[in-house]
C-alpha cells in the first residue's frame, strides 16, 4: 500500500485530502507544519508528498528544497498561488507538479495516481539493473559491464553472477548456488567452481568481489 505524506497548516484541508486518498486505498500521514514534515521524511519512507506552499514556519518551497536531500519521491504542491513565477520557483527546488486550490477531487486523485504509476515504472526499470562497485548487470538485456566496458559472458555465467550480486554480502554454499542457478540436485557440483573461476578471469582477476569462504562457499563483496 502506497504511503502519502500530506503537509498543510489548515488541518481541515489536510483531513479532506486524507479522506479522498484513503477512499482510494492509500495510507496517509498528516503534518501541519514544515518542521514536522521535514522530520517525518527523515524518519519514514513515503511514496508521494502533497505539500502546501504557504505555511507559517517553513514555506512549502523551503520544505521541498530541504527534503530533496532525503527523498526522490514525487512532490506535488497544493497551493492557492497560481502565478507562473511561484510555479517556476517550486519546480526549481524539486517539485514535480502543482494542483491549485480549490481543487477538484477527481483531478487530485488522477494526478496522484499518474505520479505513482510513473514512479512504479521507474522502480521496475531500476530493479532490472544491479550495480556494485564497477560491475553492472542489466537483467533485461543480459548485458554485463566492467568500468563501463561490456563483458561477454555465457548464459550460465550471467545467471551465476546475477545470483551472487543479488545476494551480495551473504555466504552461499556450492549446493545453494548449484540448486539456484543450475536448478538441479543431481549434477556435477564442481561446475560451480569452474564457472566461478571463469567469472574471475573475465571480471575479477584480483578477487576483489568474489571471495572464497573456505569450508563454506562464496560471497560477493560490496565495495
Q: What is the pLDDT at residue 186? A: 65
Cβ pair 73, 48 in contact under 8 A = yes
CA distance 54 to 78: 9
Cell numbers linked to 63: 520544505
CA distance 189 to 222: 26
Per-residue pLDDT tens, the chain, 223 aa: give them.
789 999 999 999 999 999 999 999 999 999 999 999 999 998 888 999 999 998 988 899 999 999 987 888 899 999 887 667 777 887 888 888 999 888 899 999 999 999 888 876 656 555 688 889 999 999 888 999 999 999 999 999 999 999 999 898 889 999 999 988 988 766 788 899 999 999 999 999 999 999 999 989 999 998 7
Peptide bond just before 102 cis, omega within 30 deg? yes
Q: Domains of the chain (ranges plus CATH)?
A: 3-127 (3.40.50.2300), 129-220 (1.10.10.10)
Burial 61-96 (b: 16+ CB within 10 A, else e): bebbbbbeeebebbbbbbbebeeeebbebbeebbbb
CA distance 177 to 183: 9
Q: What is the pLDDT at residue 24? A: 92
Cell numbers linked to 90: 517550486
Q: What is the pLDDT at residue 83? A: 67
If DSSP codes are grouped into helix, strand and coil, which group holds residue 30? strand
If DSSP codes are grouped into helix, strand and coil, which group holds residue 117? helix
What's the pTM?
0.56
CA 188, 189, 192, 193 torsion: positive or negative? negative
Task: Output DSSP code: residue 81.
Answer: -
CA distance 71 to 155: 37
Task: Write the secondary structure of 130-195 as one string of H (helix), E (strand) and C (coil).
Answer: EEECCEEEECCCCEEEECCEEECCCHHHHHHHHHHHHCCCCCECHHHHHHHHHCCCCCCCHHHHHH
Task: Output DSSP code: residue 125.
Answer: H
Picking from 111, 107, 76, the residue whose alpha carbon sits closest to that of residue 94 is 76
Q: What is the pLDDT at residue 75? A: 93
Those residues with Cβ within 8 angstroms of residue 70's Cβ, 6 or more apart along the chain or in another chain: 41, 42
Percent composition of the chain: helix, strand, coil (DSSP 3-state, to 5): 45, 20, 35
Picking from 120, 165, 170, the residue whose alpha carbon sits closest to that of residue 138 is 165
Q: What is the pLDDT at residue 205? A: 93
Q: What is the pLDDT at residue 125? A: 54
Amino acid at each position: 500500500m502506497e504511503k502519502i505524506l500530506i503537509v498543510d497548516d489548515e488541518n481541515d484541508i489536510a483531513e479532506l485530502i486524507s479522506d479522498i486518498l484513503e477512499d482510494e486505498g492509500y495510507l496517509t500521514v498528516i503534518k501541519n507544519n514544515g518542521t514536522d514534515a521535514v522530520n517525518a521524511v527523515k524518519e519514514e519512507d513515503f511514496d508521494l508528498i502533497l505539500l502546501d506552499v504557504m505555511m507559517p514556519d517553513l514555506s512549502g518551497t523551503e520544505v521541498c528544497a530541504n527534503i530533496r536531500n532525503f527523498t526522490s519521491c514525487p512532490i506535488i504542491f497544493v497551493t492557492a498561488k497560481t502565478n507562473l513565477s511561484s510555479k517556476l520557483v517550486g519546480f526549481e527546488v524539486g517539485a514535480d507538479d502543482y494542483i491549485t486550490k480549490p481543487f477538484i477531487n477527481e483531478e487530485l486523485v488522477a494526478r496522484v495516481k499518474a505520479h505513482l504509476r510513473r514512479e512504479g515504472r521507474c522502480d521496475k526499470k531500476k530493479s532490472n539493473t544491479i550495480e556494485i562497485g564497477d560491475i553492472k548487470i542489466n537483467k533485461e538485456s543480459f548485458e554485463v559491464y566492467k568500468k563501463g566496458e561490456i563483458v561477454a559472458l555465457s548464459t550460465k555465467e550471467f545467471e551465476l553472477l546475477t545470483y551472487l550480486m543479488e545476494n551480495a554480502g551473504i555466504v552461499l554454499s556450492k549446493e545453494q548456488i548449484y540448486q539456484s542457478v543450475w536448478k538441479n540436485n543431481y549434477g556435477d557440483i564442481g561446475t560451480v567452481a569452474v564457472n566461478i573461476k571463469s567469472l574471475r578471469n573475465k571480471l575479477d582477476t584480483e578477487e576483489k568481489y568474489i571471495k572464497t569462504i573456505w569450508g563454506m562457499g562464496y560471497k560477493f563483496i560490496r565495495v
